[in-house]
Amino acid sequence: MDRIMKTFQTTGLVCLLMLALACQADPQQQQLFNVLSGKDRIPPVFLGAKAVASDTIICYFNEPVSCDLTNTVIGQGLGLVEVRSQAQEIKLVVDGTVAPGVSVVISARVRDLMGNSLGFSTTCWGKNERIPQVLINEFTTKGSGNNPDRVELWVATAGNLAGVTFYDGMPDSYESTFTFTALEVLPGDSLVLYFGQSPPEGKPNSFEASEVGLGSNNGVLSLYATPGSDCLDAALYSNRTSTSDSTFHGFGTQKVLDRVLLLQKHGGWGDGIGIDLTPEMAIDSTYSTATRSMGRQPNGADTDTNLDWRVAATGKASFGARNSTEVHVP
């Protein structure tokens, strides 16, 4: 009996020692293991998908994975020619093309080197090979019946707008979003997005972006080449100061602060030297009205700072035309 007890105690000490060593591991590198088998039991993590060509989509993971045709389905009536595992990616080649600005649903199951499996479903947008350079050029956020909230986009280079997406906010936090279908544009073209109401009948290059108006005094506007990916332009506006409140860094609400932090993270505003964004760095919306638009300087400067912008004089909002040179003087 004593011998059995000693054996049991020794085994117990070994197990405790193994657990103690596991607990002392670096928490950033620690993995979950079955203590007896020593095998990794954590499934791979899906990180996202992106069309890299008209017929090719790459799915990204946190570790090397494998997949096969029988475990993979793609929407839009497309078949798969090839499913290739390469390091931490799965390459999907379709038997046709994923149209620019059109979304497809991908469903698949992958396995890591230890056999842990992950089933996932995601949406991917077709790659647009001809995205033009587009800037947010003018906007109003205090609309009235005759002069609703609007955002003008100005086209700098020729291309097609298929998939180009505007956010009242940022891709991870927004009030409304609008995605263009295929539309050929030329340098100098203007497109006007309407918020809160429809554009007048027969008005060219005008679009109803949302039934919801824009935030009156504080907000972030952003424009992306495809939903959630590749920022083309952004604008930060505010009538507040850093001392307006202590809880939200002066921006007034958690929602606006979250969007400002996302804008800062993606480098869409500011001088690029890593300084935290403040309300003073925004376009000053204090004196803007339904007819006093916030507009880019007529020279088209784009430094991603409030120096590019000014408030037009009363009645001088110029959507669809060259920005007015008349500036509001308080």
Q: What is the CATH number of the domain that holds 120?
A: 2.60.40.1220
Question: Do residues 207 and 305 share a domain?
Answer: yes
Question: Do residues 233 and 286 share a domain?
Answer: yes
Residue 314: which of 292, 290, 287, 286 has the closest Cα? 292
Answer yes or no: is 107 within a domain: yes
Distance CA 145, CA 143 (A): 7
Q: What is the pLDDT of residues 31-78, one digit of tens each?
A: 444 444 557 789 999 999 999 998 999 999 999 999 988 889 998 788
Question: Do residues 82 and 179 share a domain?
Answer: no
Q: Is 72 exposed, middle or buried (0-12, 13-18, 19+ CB in 10 A)?
A: middle
Question: Do residues 121 and 138 share a domain?
Answer: no
Question: Do residues 144 and 105 share a domain?
Answer: no
Question: Do residues 180 and 88 share a domain?
Answer: no
Please enumerate in sequence order all residues whose Cβ is within 8 A of that of 285, keeping only pairs 6 or more positions apart, or say none. 141, 216, 217, 218, 237, 238, 239, 294
Q: 257 lies in which domain range?
A: 134-311
Q: Which of 12-16, 138-142, 159-163, 168-172 has the lowest mean pLDDT?
A: 12-16
Domains identified in the chain, total number: 2
Distance CA 85, CA 83 (A): 7
Question: Do residues 95 and 173 share a domain?
Answer: no
Q: Which of 68, 101, 125 is the last residue of a domain?
A: 125
pLDDT for residue 6: 46
Answer yes or no: is 178 within a domain: yes
pLDDT surpassing 70 at residue 300: yes
Please enumerate in sequence order all residues whose Cβ is within 8 A of that of 20, keeping only pairs 6 or more positions apart, or say none. none
Question: Do residues 108 and 144 share a domain?
Answer: no
**β-bridge pairing 72-74 and 117-125:** unpaired
Answer yes or no: is 63 within a domain: yes
Answer yes or no: is 242 within a domain: yes
Model pTM score = 0.80
